[in-house]
Amino acid sequence: MFWNRQQKPAIHLIGVGGSGMSGIAELLLASEFPVSGSDLTRSTITDRLESLGAKIYYDHHASHIQQPSCVVVSSAVQVSNPEWQEAVRRSIPVIQRAEMLAELMRLKKGIAVAGSHGKTTTTSLLGQVLHSLDPTVVVGGRLQHWNASSLVGKGSTFIIEADESDRSFLKFSPVYSIVTNIDLEHLDNYRDLNDIKDCFVSFLNRTAFFGENWICADCENLQSIRPRLNKPTKTFGYAEDADIRITRVEWERTKSLFCLERKTGEDLGSFEIPVPGRHNILNATGAISLALSLGIGLTSLRRSLKNFVQADRRLQTHYRSERFAVVEDYAHHPTEIRAAMEGVSQMFPGFRKIVIFQPHRYTRTKALWDEFVGALGGLSDELYLLPIYAAHEAAIEGVSSDRLAADIGTRANLWGALPQASVFASECSVRQEPVVAVVLGAAPLTSFAKSLAFELESLASRSAVISKV
């Protein structure tokens, strides 16, 4: 339990269907807080919350603010929201999602995982390797093996994915922190790379003096801020001078094997994770490094890592056969696209890579234009671009998917909207070589990926029947 008051205060969450907000709702429900929430769309997430006892409204109206002691909002909710306005009118406290998480984390030993890329995977890996501590874990994506974005444990450890996008991670005061990397990102909230670095310095210096920071030794941006850190800090990665160093790597289609050693020369042995990609080895090494600091044994670590299951939309394979495959990934930044495509190449050698991508936010697309052109044009055999997903942003003149396609060149095709999955599956099936369709982006493309997987599987089944006749 997080609270020992006789009567726990009721809490209302606006935008409760989002992955981050739903995780908090589950956490509060498991701790026996009365929870209500609102969202515009019914989903499997909101259905689950209702089954756990939450009262969910499927619109936004002032009348939904009944008797809560607190209202929680995500960064996507505008102050003009009628429920927010009603809470202000009635002098009910309105706090950000991160502030609620910070309040809950204060009652336990907090571990925060931050970074421009790899936060969700590293947080879920950490939850896996620290399972013997029975931790509470809150991540920004749905984890398949939990069927939720949070796990409520009875132990004293509280692990969170700390989001830097709106600077809200500065509300946390963890005992331990991991930072995977720093990249040019979220320029709707940051002036430039130096502003981002300054914010990460502030975050890492919020770690307890008796705790520890673990940062990636291979990230130049992270290493450039290290002299400004005033809390105990160690490093992990491929770099020769890392405190825990990756020494040897082997890849198979759906798993990665690697060896680690300490800076002192101590051999930590070999590890295996059932996910591909150099970036995932780094994510796993960050989790291992902190787990070792917490006293977790090597045998336990190896066993936990072998059983790891990725979060949804992280190199998620919806279908695979000898002829066809469909993979979905949340990648929406050039660095993430490169990492995802490296993983796809490892998983499906010899397959023709057909990429479907929807750029996310005008500000990101403009700021990283050349990087998008290089990543999308250089790593796919065919590319299909959808119109930019605005995510509440106003359009920027000259920033569009058709111009992006023109700069990429002949392999780029422009879609005004998603085609019927059955039609696109038929087009894929006429390719001579095996085909992997890679659906990328932060925008909601999961239903298309699943439909495409179904149609390709149906085509494969029909072909098998015909070949037997």
Q: How far apart are CA 224 and CA 397, in angstroms?
A: 35
Q: How far apart are CA 446 and CA 318, in angstroms?
A: 10
CA-nearest of 35, 181, 16, 183 to 97 is 16
Q: How far apart are CA 69 and CA 10, in angstroms?
A: 6
Question: Is 257 strand, coil or helix?
Answer: strand
Q: Give the pair of three-digit tokens for residue 172.
A: 């946390």
DSSP letter for 231, please: S
Choosing from 26, 46, 109, 119, the catalytic residue is 119
Choosing from 83, 136, 157, 161, the catalytic residue is 161
To the query of whether residue 119 is one of the catalytic residues in this protein, the response is: yes
Residues 6+ apart with CB under 8 A from 187: 363, 364, 367
Question: Is 75 strand, coil or helix?
Answer: coil
Question: Is 59 strand, coil or helix?
Answer: coil
Q: How far apart are CA 193 and CA 70, in angstroms?
A: 35
Q: How far apart are CA 268 and CA 252, in angstroms?
A: 21
Give CA separation, 218 vs 198, 214, 232, in Å. 19, 12, 18
- Burial label, 64 (beta-carbon count in 10 A; 0-12, 13-18, 19+): buried
Q: How far apart are CA 344 and CA 447, in angstroms?
A: 20
Choosing from 46, 120, 157, 233, the catalytic residue is 120
To the query of whether residue 328 is one of the catalytic residues in this protein, the response is: no
To the query of whether residue 161 is one of the catalytic residues in this protein, the response is: yes
Q: How far apart are CA 137 and CA 146, in angstroms?
A: 11
Sheet with 109-114, edge to edge strand ranges: 148-151, 136-143, 157-161, 109-114, 176-179, 212-216, 233-237, 244-252, 255-262, 267-273
Q: How far apart are CA 445 and CA 118, in angstroms?
A: 20
Give CA separation, 201 vs 23, 97, 225, 228, 231, in Å. 27, 22, 7, 7, 10
Q: Give the active site residues.
A: 119-120, 161
